[in-house]
Amino acid sequence: DAKTTQPPSMDCAEGRAANLPCNHSTISGNEYVYWYRQIHSQGPQYIIHGLKNNETNEMASLIITEDRKSSTLILPHATLRDTAVYYCIVRALYNTNAGKSTFGDGTTLTVKP
């Protein structure tokens, strides 16, 4: 199962775009890239996911490289409320790796005024 690598922390100025990288060089063809975030001590919240095409929703954009070995989560206009720990994980089609669902340490994003 693919593991992910993320920088431990990042800062971003309020109103600017936050670009959070994730390396998943051993990802398999049937694995999706998911992003979640955890604000303070709350339960993690789903943000976005993708397989190989770039994706966008009301929260963020996900850019996946052509070789699928890395991806970037983009928060287009970061606000102070986006300060959180962001987790990048991979999940197989039809949840066939459900037993490997570990979130790792993630990236702590701090949005500064």
Partner 1 sequence: NAGVTQTPKFRVLKTGQSMTLLCAQDMNHEYMYWYRQDPGMGLRLIHYSVGEGTTAKGEVPDGYNVSRLKKQNFLLGLESAAPSQTSVYFCASSYSSQLGTDTQYFGPGTRLTVL
Residues making contact with partner 1 (CB under 8 A): 32, 34, 36, 41-46, 49, 87, 91, 93-95, 98-106
Least distance from C-beta 13 to partner 1, angstroms? 25
Least distance from C-beta 45 to partner 1, angstroms? 7
* The pairing of beta strand 84-92 with beta strand 107-112: antiparallel
Tell me the three state secondary structure of residue 28.
coil
Contacts of 58 (CB under 8 A, 6+ apart): none
Q: How far apart are CA 94 and CA 58, in angstroms?
A: 25
Q: Which is nearer to partner 1, 64 or 106 (CB)?
A: 106
Q: Which is nearer to partner 1, 95 or 113 (CB)?
A: 95
Least distance from C-beta 71 to partner 1, angstroms? 15
70 contacts 22 by C-beta, under 8 angstroms:
yes
Q: Which is nearer to partner 1, 13 or 51 (CB)?
A: 51
Q: Which is nearer to partner 1, 13 or 93 (CB)?
A: 93
Least distance from C-beta 15 to partner 1, angstroms? 29
- What six digits make up the tokens of 37? 């975030």
Tell me the three state secondary structure of residue 100.
helix
